[in-house]
Structure 1
Amino acid sequence: MKNIFKWKNFLIVYAALLLVLNLILITLPLTNVFGYEFSTVNAIVISFLSGLYVISSSKEKVDGSKLNALAIFKNLSLLLLIPFAVSIINSIFTGFCSFWDGLLFYIVLTFPSIAVGSTLGIISFAIASRLRRLVFILLFIAVSLIALFEIYFNPQVYLYNPIFGYFPGTIYDEGLSVDFKLFFYRLLNIFFFLGVFGILNNALRNKKVILVAWRRVIYSLVVAAVFYLFVSPMWGYSTTFSKLNSELSTKIETKHFIIFADKRIEKDDLKFIALNQEYFYKKLSKFLTVEFGEKINSFIFKSSDQKKELFGSGNADVAKPWQNRVYVSMDSWESSLEHEIAHCFAGKFGWGIFKVAADFNPALIEGVAEACDGIYDEMNIHFLASIAHKNSFKVSVANLFSSFSFFGNVSGLSYIYSGSYVQFLIEKFGVEKVKQYYRSNNFKQTFEIDITEVEIEYFEFLNSFSVKDWQAKANYYFGRQSLIQKVCPRYISDRIADAWYLINQKNYEDAEQLLNEVLEKTDNYSAIVGLSVIYENYDSLNSAIRILEEKLEIFKNTSYEYNLIFRLADLLVKAGRFEEAKVNFETLKNSKPNLRLELLAQLRLILMKEEKISDYVFGSDYDKYFLLKELNLIQHNYSSIPIMINLSERLNENYKLFLSNLINKFEVKDFYSSYAALKLSQYMLQNFDYLNARKLAGLSLRYKNDNGLVEYKKENFRKAEWFHKNAGRILDELKISND
């Protein structure tokens, strides 16, 4: 133990630095809990300090004797003990998310760091006679940059690396726990790095032997690198394009795109995606005045789960503009594909090797893509930004575009303000100026005016929109917490996913236990809804209703309030408490938090008048569809038609058979009839009925007083018109193959 306190090898200094760092970490979001982020940061730091310590200890061995490896690692255990002790003591006072989850992360991610760092340290000592610390730093950076190499050249966004262990990808997949794959990877790290350490340590005392040792080390490194290169994709530690192409084996080629898709996806769906891509190309090239010399590759996954497994991001679709590739899944492409393709277009005037906004400014990166689309959840982004600005969700765009505060807000809020502001800049200064700003990230130099002055003009512009009494809509879209604001986000999200899997497997007892564990930590919306589902399946409607009523006040003025009201109202119908249900449905209809909820509530109020609400709420999808067909026999009930379309798709009903149910003439007189015409137009377009799609798209435009949807309807008409003129030719030229 006396070696620990020797100043010559700096261990006590490193320990003090590590203590200070961890006292800071427990005050920061995410690292303030004993979990993934805390363990990852310490893995990086301890790897670095371990290497420096081994170099210092090796220099003391002037007699040529080898290092006492056991003593080295025993002393370095102090570095492992300090973060552990700091976080545990902090958690005793502030609360654990999960001690066992945190311990697993710490053992699997942080413990191997002393083996990795020590080995890099002894390699640096062996190959250099002077400036060994500089050599170590360069070697440490080189090993870390293997991750950058994989991100740059491979499709994946997840990373496995000896220095930090594992990075899951985007911030939008919150759930994370230690699995066997990660455990085995770190086990391989330990065996490999300790093996190299042992070879070099045994050789250091003899200059002749060290040459032989170097041959062994180099041989080991080459063999390990080649072995890892081949087995890594098979074991799931990396995803190469050959691996991805083998999984996404259907290939479709158009004039400007090459699609790689899962073979289980219907060909008609892929043709529709191909047509949309060509339309987006035409729209974006005109908007940004950019042309491509090469084709954009798009990878279409069957589901977000498949995308998570192969690519690393389940909840977020992603573009890599430096690769000229986009990665989307079938369950989300309609809302994200244009946005991701816009990133590739922006790459043509992007900065650096990653072809993004200068200095990796996230507000500029996402703002340009959002401005190109201009629509968020069917509404104009200026309209939504105005709602946010006028209803207690104000954001300083000067701060948003000059710092990384983009990630400190709810993601939707940052995306909408960024997109709206960039679109405002394009309208005011022109697209070429904005492209120059994208390349430089220097607002004043580009526009010759301070960003705070333009911010004042922008807020005046937002104030010009007529969006009175939209607090409910503002709460729905922006009343959430960002990742760094949530309580135990990794633990909670992981347990919620497990619980819903158990619910789907009808294992209600274990699911209930998990959800109650979550609710002991925080009032989580998904956990509350999950419990209500369990109680309903236990035939305990009163218990399901009670938990929603008890928790509803907690979620007041948040995005979750309105979904809970809707869920509660349906349960009240099932319990025969119709008047109470009616009050809740009327609340949703009148407050209009979201168009989907408004339509669902409006339809249920109509069914109440028809005395068919119980049949509908208790019924299967087929029962619901049959009831809605009956509702539209004499005259159209326009609020029901978008829901009928969704049910028809879920039931895989023939398109022409569906149209035969709509025998009455469409008349657009109000919002509901206009929106029904819009959704029917989109459904026709999806079924390659271009003429009727254009007709209904034009019909939907007859009603213009619809609060933010006008631009969306105009865009749908432009698309329908373009499809009518170009789709036939594009489909004739389409090349489809299955590898």
Structure 2
Amino acid sequence: MPASSPKLRAVRRLLRAEPFAVAAFVLGVVLAPWPLVGVWGYESSLVCAPVLSILGLMDAVRAVGRVRAAPDAAPWEALATRSVVGPGLTCLALAAGLGTAFLWQRVCDPAGGLALLAMGAGLSCVAGWWTGALCAVATRSRRRAVALAVGAVLASTAVALLRLYRDPAVFAFDPYWGYFAGAIYDEHVEVGPTFVAYRIYNALAIGAGIVLALLLTDPRTLTLRRPRRSRRTVLLSVLFAALAGRTIHLAATADMRGFHASLRTLERALPRTLRTEHFVLHFAPQTATHREIEALAAEHEFAYAEIARRVGAEPKGPIHSFVFPDAGTKRAVMGAGRVEVAPPWRRHLYLHHKPFPQASLLHELAHAFESAIGDPLFGLSLRGGLPNMGLVEGVATAMADPVVDDLSIHEQAAVLRRLGKLPPLGRILGTGFWTVAGRHAYTAAGSFAAFVAEHYSDAALVALYRAGGDTEAVLGVSLDAVEAEWHALLDRQVIPDEVLEAQRARFAVRSIFERPCAHRLARLYGEITRARARGEEDEVFEGLETACNLEPFEPRHRLALAEEYAAVGEVGRAVEVYAALAEDGAVPSVRRAEAYEGLALVHVGAGAFEDAKRAIEAARELPVPSAWRRRLELVHRAVTEPTLRDLVLRYLRRFDRREDGISLLAGRIAAAAAIGRTSAGRALGPYLEGRQLANAAVHDLAHDALHRAGAVFDEDPAALSADFSRALYELDAATALAAGDLDGATASLERLEALLPPTDGARRWLARWRSRIEAHRRLRTGEIRSPG
């Protein structure tokens, strides 16, 4: 084929000249069709960084060999030039290969994605290049140089993995991998100041290595020699000492700079401790956790006893529970924001404060118990050396037995099945678990694990965990047969149509692999928050409109846009967006109700009370969970009862952007107290006051307020609706328990029993609360506390 010979010769020349750039381009093209890892961004950078590090070091070893073979008047200058050209071409080739993703999938944030790719894979390639160059200078054998450089990469990786295994950080920085953000469900990943500072640290370390090489090598032959006495040697020695000293100082203070998080880091953020029989609780003083720490300690012991009874084994103690004041603090200290984590092998719980009794505690504590039933190194359910994440998370969910909107875990999974969103067991019982939307995966895995425990036994579930999910070995039946039995259980669950519709919004979430713009949106909402704080409304609206365009299927972006219009007084635009959402039958009923609610509040603010009444009544006709029914009822009372209108609007404070957390809480408590002084709000006001005080973890005052609301309700049962009266006793049971009034908690539970619906979830919830109160009764404060 003579016509193609020039092209073939050109390809051969390219392969000889830049084989590593060609390899990077091929890597990019291979990854391009795949979600997340195939587009410019965090995931592609994480996957490609170690490969580019290896390609970079091999290019450097070759470059040193060429310089030695053909001595240059200035070999170090030649290497410096190649250190830019080689990694530059390799990174550009990777970016070009990944750029073919534009043919296959949506690329939402090209600029941000390229920045992450450059900071991650790009600078890792540079780090690998100089590692290879310095190793090649240290030895005359190319093979030995490659082995030394690859050994350095592997050693650095081993250190990072050891830290992830041993220390509390869920994130990791590494010169050859870049940045590992941790939990996959935390979508906020960006080039932040800590990442930039870490790369400066890498540059200092590389600079120290280069200066040392200049000091110990012949500048003309790049061979090692003893330093000569000269001014150059003194200057290089001083420069090396400065660079090495700064590098060592940064390495020694890595946890203080956010490069890593150690146990010492967490102890600085959470300096107070309380010890119980099985736990050490770590918390910050003068926080909501501090105010309820004794009740929370008892709750930990209750959860421990519940799980130990079912698992039949106990982890080596004590278990350390770190309770951060909020998700933001937790993210800043250890990397996980809204995601709570508990690596089984570490026997640590990393939580942030939630309303008592800390709903996530049972789930996270179950992970600590998995250390006693899983593999000896990680406490995981392993099969073929790979973790069975469906069982790791499924067992924890089954032990927690979560009840959501009065639905048990089986009823929730039945909703998923009716909606056609229940994932197959073969997909979630393995590493495929992470490819499923989190809410779907956890619900399905939890229901399946609970089914095994109930249909066979708790011991069978533990054995299945130990066997990595081998149903034939443990249960004597195939996975398909067990799945059919489980599906039959789900099909027997009674799920009314209105409940199904009310749950549709909750299960409308998509996997991060089905949301190509997830990271861009997380960063975008951060930019919106900062723009709002600066008073730059044009940027806020631009950001919200961008969010709507990035995910047109997600109604929450349009709701946020409408609320922003209402907050700045653009009533017409707010009404337009709210009305379009409210009348869209394809939108889940909860989101339509939220749109109608916003529409009603906008009309009230404009004095259009009839329009407001029509909107809120339309909202109340939609099937929504109980919490939403209370919220809509409150707005309805503001619309239809003039004596309560101003006070309820003051309580809601829906569109007021001037509020901070303290003023919002104080304003709502004051408004609730004023509602309680009206004849129409004698019971409602104290309930709302108690709700706000409970949110602030001031449980004794919250209990007093709720007790006043209950007294009015006893005198006049019409003072509160069924939804509000039920919420009253649910909340009072929690506040009474947290405040130490165990008899009051029992009394509220007895009143509540007659108000619960006849669902399996409600029955399970009531049974657990009875066990909880009895456990707290046994665990008196003096028996469990040992302050530190």
Q: Same fold (TM over 0.5)?
A: yes
Stretch of structure 1 that moved more, 284-293 or 519-528: 519-528
* Distance change in 2, residues 1:347/1:127 (3 Å): farther
- For the pair 1:681 / 2:709, whether they are aligned, the reply is no
CA contact under 8 A between 2:634 and 2:648: conserved in structure 1?
Answer: no
SS of residue matched to 1:342: helix
Matched residue, 1:51: 57
The corresponding residue for 1:646 is: 691
- Distance in 2 (alpha carbons) for counterparts of 1:481 and 1:313: 20
Pick from 464, 467, 472 the counterpart of residue 437 of structure 1.
464
Say whether the 8 Å CA contact 1:144–1:161 is kept in structure 2: yes
Cα offset for 1:370? 0.3
- Match for residue 310 of structure 1? 333
Q: What is the match of residue 712 of structure 1?
A: 765
Please give the residue correspondences for 1:717-732 in structure 2 after superposition, counting only pairs within 5 Å. 717-723=770-776, 725-728=777-780, 730-732=781-783
> Map of 1:356-367 to 2, 5 A cutoff?
356-358=380-382, 359-367=386-394
Out of 82, 95, 118, the residue aligned to residue 72 of structure 1 is 82
1:152 aligns with: 165
CA drift of 1:49 comes to 0.8
Deviation at 1:428, TM superposition (A): 2.1
Which position in structure 1 is the counterpart of 2:567? Answer: 537
Distance 2:160 2:611 in 1: 56
How many Å separate the matches in 1 of 2:686 and 2:486? 38
Q: Name the % identity.
A: 18
Equivalences for 1:252-331 in 2 at 5 Å? 252-266=274-288, 267-331=290-354
Distance 1:135 1:451, change over 3 A: farther
Alignment deviations for residues 516-554 of structure 1 (CA, whole Å, 9 cap, x no partner): 343343335454333333322322222212122234539
How far off is 1:459 after superposition? 0.6
Structure 2 counterparts to residues 117-516 of structure 1, below 5 A: 117-125=128-136, 126=138, 129=141, 130=143, 133-197=146-210, 199-200=212-213, 203=217, 205=221, 209=225, 226-266=248-288, 267-331=290-354, 334-358=358-382, 359-377=386-404, 379-401=407-429, 403-441=430-468, 442-469=470-497, 470-503=499-532, 506-516=535-545
- The structure 1 residue matched to 2:120, chosen from 94, 98, 109, is 109
Kindly state the Cα deviation for residue 489 of structure 1 after the two structures are TM-superposed: 1.5
| Residue 593 of structure 1, CA deviation | 3.1
What's the CA shift for 1:672?
6.0
Equivalent position amino acid for 2:672 in 1: Y
Trace 1:4-83 onto structure 2 (pairs within 5 A): 12-59=18-65, 63=69, 68-73=78-83, 74-83=85-94
CA distance in 1, matches of 2:686, 2:38: 49
Match among 553, 570, 575 for residue 601 of structure 2: 570
CA–CA distance in structure 2, aligned partners of residues 200 and 505 of structure 1: 49
Question: 1:184-225 deviations in whole A, cap 9, x for unaligned?
Answer: 211221342254256448738466528999x99999999677
Gaps of 5+ in 2: 1-8, 652-667
Deviation (angstroms), 1:643: 4.8
* Alignment partner of 1:625 is 2:625: no
Q: Tell me, what secondary structure is at the counterpart of 1:478? A: coil
Aligned partner of 2:168: which letter? P
Letter of the 1:734 partner, please give it. R
Give the distance between the partners of 2:508 and 2:81, measured in 1 at CA. Answer: 54
Partner of 2:660: none
Aligned mates of 2:97, 2:533 — CA distance in 1? 40
- Conserved? CA contact 2:505–2:590, under 8 Å: yes
CA 703–50 in structure 1, closer or farther in 2 if over 3 Å, else same: same
Deviations 1:32-79 (A, max 9, x none): 433222333333221111112233444556749567313532234221
User: 8 Å contact 1:271–1:731 — kept in the other structure?
Assistant: no
Read off the aligned partner of 1:20 and give its amino acid letter.
Answer: V
Letter in 1 for 2:422: K
Q: Could you list the per-position Cα deviations for residues 645-671 of structure 1 after superposition, in whole angstroms to 9, with x for gaps in the alignment?
A: 323435865532542343246589967
**Aligned 8 A contact 1:476 1:594 in 2:** no
Q: How far did 1:121 drift?
A: 2.3
CA distance in 2, matches of 1:268, 1:13: 63
CA contact (8 A) 1:26 1:33 kept: yes
Gaps of 5+ in 1: none
Distance 1:152 1:4 in 2: 48
Offset at residue 430 of structure 1 (A): 1.7
Quickly say closer, same or farther: Cα 1:323–1:394, change in 2 above 3 A. closer
Match of 1:660 among 682, 692, 708: 708
How far the C-alpha of 1:85 sits from its partner, in A, is 2.9
Query: Could you say if the C-alpha distance between residues 147 and 210 of structure 1 is closer, same or farther in structure 2, counting changes exceeding 3 Å?
Result: farther
Any conservation in 2 of the 1:410–1:481 contact (CA below 8 Å)? Answer: yes
In 2, are the aligned partners of 1:122 and 1:197 still within 8 Å (CA)? no
Q: SS where residue 342 of structure 2 aligns?
A: strand
CA distance in 2, matches of 1:392, 1:537: 38
1:415 CA displacement: 0.7
Deviation at 1:147, TM superposition (A): 1.6
Q: Cα deviation per residue 1:111-155 (whole Å; 9 max; x = unaligned)? A: 322321123324554469456545544432221222212111211
**Within 1, Cα distance between the matches of 2:586 and 2:519?**
21
- How much has 1:397 moved relative to structure 2? 1.8
* Distance apart, 1:478 and its partner CA: 0.5
Between the aligned partners of 1:606 and 1:508, the Cα distance in structure 2 is 32
In the alignment, which residue of structure 1 is the partner of 2:663?
Answer: none
The amino acid of 1:22's aligned partner reads: G
2:130, 2:257 → 1: CA distance?
A: 25
Aligned residues: 729
Q: Distance in 2 between matches of 1:563 and 1:665?
A: 28
CA positional deviation for 1:444? 2.5
Q: Provide closer, same or farther for how the CA distance between residues 686 and 541 of structure 1 changes in structure 2, counting only shifts above 3 A.
A: farther
1:105/1:555 Cα in 2 relative to 1: closer, same or farther (>3 Å)? farther
Question: CA-to-partner distance for each residue in 1:78-113, whole Å, 9 max, x for gaps?
Answer: 211112334456559976534432343233223322
1:270 CA drift (Å) = 1.4
- SS of aligned partner of 2:506: helix
C-alpha deviation, 1:283, in angstroms: 0.8
Q: In terms of mean alpha carbon deviation, does 87-96 or 177-186 score higher?
A: 87-96
Hey, what's the Cα distance between the residues in 1 that align with 2:782 and 2:679? 35
Counterparts in 2 of 1:449 and 1:131: CA distance versus 1, 3 Å: farther
The question of whether the paired residues in 2 share the 8 Å contact of 1:487 and 1:521 is answered with no
Give the counterpart letter for 1:663 in structure 2: A
* Alpha-carbon distance in structure 2 between the residues aligned to 1:449 and 1:95: 43
When the two chains are superposed, the root-mean-square deviation of aligned CA atoms in Å is 3.6
Letter aligned with residue 84 of structure 1: A
Judged with a 3 Å threshold, the aligned counterparts in structure 2 of structure 1 residues 54 and 554 are, in CA distance, closer, same or farther, namely farther
TM-score after normalising by structure 1: 0.89
Cα-to-partner distance string for 1:330-384 (whole Å, 9 max, x where unaligned)? 1377121111111001111122422222122221111111000101435411111
The superposition leaves residues 530-580 of structure 1 with CA deviations (integer Å, 9 ceiling, x where unpaired) of 333332232222221212223453961386444334333433343444455
CA contact (8 A) 1:253 1:736 kept: yes
Pick one of 731, 735, 738 that aligns with 2:786. 735
Q: Is the 8 A contact 1:34 1:91 kept in 2?
A: no
